[in-house]
């Protein structure tokens, strides 16, 4: 039985109603000492994966979320609920610095390729759009190259000083990419805009994956410092992103099925939302 297929068919269903209902269920379970995590991590993550698809899909069809709150605000609230539901499923045991350092370095070739793909778009743009594009992505090469150097240094010496450098640099890169997404959305040619956003999103997906890895080995105080440095929050750029594209990038990198990559993405994003990124 597909519970969520019934939601789409119900004429009285609204995003607000779904959020309130699910939030109430989660709250009641918490009050009675039953956490969602006790259902089993795999079961809960699969449930939240389906729930997130239902909530975010419903936003596109729900007339009550427009225009009073706006789709971006409603989607952010949906993600916050997903973060709440996933909170009990996130692993409590941290990964070792050396294993995360290797995983980070493994992402760097994809990062550099994605940045190169962004650079190649310049020749296809109209002069007016090129100015917007060049301004938005001017720092991509320098910031990504510096991060690659620092990531390799952290792999060679996964200590607190090298981790600090990686933390600061990944946040700087994330902020540049998030700002770029907001900027290139102003490109006037619809075809060019779509092409540019897709290319920048590829960089954003990789940077987000790396940020999640860095976050997994960072202390609470370090995460608070990093999130405080993140002026352009994930919720602001999320409406511009195509979730399927991000999932495909993660799945291809780890050579895993799309549903597994989607669950990983949900968990990472939930943790980032909780941390204030």
Which tens digits make up the pLDDT trace of 54-110?
Answer: 555 555 555 444 444 455 555 555 555 555 444 444 443 445 667 889 999 999 999
Mean per-residue pLDDT, 200-221: 94
Same domain membership, residue 236 and residue 111: yes
Q: Within this chain, do residues 152 and 250 fall inside the same structural domain, yes or no?
A: yes
pLDDT at 136 over 70: yes
pLDDT at 80: 52
| One domain for residues 81 and 103 | no
Mean pLDDT of the chain: 76
- The residue with greater pLDDT, 170 or 123, is 170
**The predicted structure's pLDDT at residue 235:** 84
Q: What's the confidence (pLDDT) of residue 51? A: 54
Structurally, the chain folds into a number of domains equal to: 2
For residue 78, what pLDDT is reported?
A: 54
Angle at which helices 15-31 and 71-86 pack, to 10 degrees? 20
pLDDT band, residue 245 (cuts 50/70/90): confident
pLDDT in tens, 161-201: 999 999 999 999 999 999 999 999 988 888 889 889 999 99
Residues 230 and 111 occupy one common structural domain: yes
Alpha-carbon span 213 to 132, nearest angstrom: 31
Whether residue 32 has pLDDT greater than 50:
no
Q: How far apart are CA 217 and CA 258, in angstroms?
A: 25
The pLDDT assigned to 99 comes to: 86
Say whether the peptide bond before residue 44 is cis (omega within 30 degrees of 0): no
Same domain, yes or no: 17 and 117? no
**Greatest distance between any 2 Cα atoms in the chain:** 62
User: In this structure, are 138 and 108 located in the same domain?
Assistant: yes
Flag whether 264 is in a domain: no
Dihedral of the CA atoms 45, 253, 249, 143 (nearest 10)?
110
Which of 66, 89, 112 terminates a domain? The answer is 89
Cα–Cα distance, 4 to 28 (Å, whole number): 21
Domain residues for the domain of 58 are 3-89
Q: How far is CA 31 from CA 9, 27, 28, 39, in A?
A: 32, 6, 5, 16
26 pLDDT higher than 50: no
Highest mean pLDDT among 24-33, 63-72, 240-249: 240-249
Q: What is residue 241's three-state secondary structure? A: coil
pLDDT, tens only, 156-172: 999 999 999 999 999 99
Q: What is the pTM of this model?
A: 0.69
Same structural domain, 55 and 190? no
Tell me which of 220 and 234 has the higher pLDDT. Answer: 220
Task: Tell me the mean pLDDT in the region 1-14.
Answer: 40
Rg (CA), the chain: 19
> Rounded to an integer, what distance in angstroms lies between the CA atom of residue 25 and that of residue 90?
19
Instruction: Answer whether residue 126 is part of any domain.
Output: yes
Given a cut of 70, whether residue 1 has pLDDT beyond it is no
Instruction: Name the domain boundary from 70, 89, 108.
Output: 89
Q: Is the pLDDT of residue 31 over 70?
A: no
Q: Which of 261, 125, 144 is nearest to 184 (CA)?
A: 125
Higher pLDDT among residues 187 and 47, named by residue: 187
Averaged pLDDT for residues 34-59 = 48
What is the per-residue DSSP string for 112-180?
HHHHHHHHHGGGGS-HHHHHHHHHHHTTHHHHHHHHHHHHHHHHH--SHHHHHHHHHHHHHHHHHHHHH
């Amino acid at each position: 039985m597909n519970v969520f297929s019934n939601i789409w068919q119900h004429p009285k269903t609204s995003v607000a109603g779904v959020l309130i209902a699910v939030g109430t269920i989660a709250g009641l379970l918490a009050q009675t000492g039953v956490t969602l995590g006790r259902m089993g991590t795999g079961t809960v993550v699969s449930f939240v994966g389906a729930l997130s698809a239902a909530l975010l899909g419903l936003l596109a069809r729900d007339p009550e979320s427009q225009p009073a709150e706006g789709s971006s605000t409603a989607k952010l609230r949906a993600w916050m609920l997903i973060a709440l539901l996933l909170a009990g499923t996130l692993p409590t045991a941290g990964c070792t610095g050396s294993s995360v350092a290797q995983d980070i370095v493994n992402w760097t070739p994809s990062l550099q390729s994605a940045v190169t793909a962004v650079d190649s778009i310049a020749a296809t743009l109209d002069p007016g759009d090129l100015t917007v594009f060049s301004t938005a992505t001017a720092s991509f090469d320098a910031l990504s190259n510096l991060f690659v150097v620092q990531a390799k240094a952290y792999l060679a010496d996964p200590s607190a000083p090298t981790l600090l450098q990686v933390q600061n640099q990944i946040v700087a890169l994330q902020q540049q990419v998030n700002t770029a997404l907001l900027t290139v959305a102003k490109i006037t040619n619809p075809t060019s805009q779509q092409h540019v956003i897709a290319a920048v999103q590829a960089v954003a997906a990789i940077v987000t994956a790396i940020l999640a890895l860095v976050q997994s080995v960072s202390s609470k105080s370090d995460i608070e410092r990093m999130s405080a440095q993140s002026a352009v929050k994930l919720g602001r750029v999320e409406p511009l992103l195509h979730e399927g594209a991000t999932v495909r990038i993660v799945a291809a990198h780890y050579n895993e099925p799309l549903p597994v990559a989607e669950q990983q993405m949900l968990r990472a994003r939930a943790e980032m939302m909780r941390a204030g990124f």
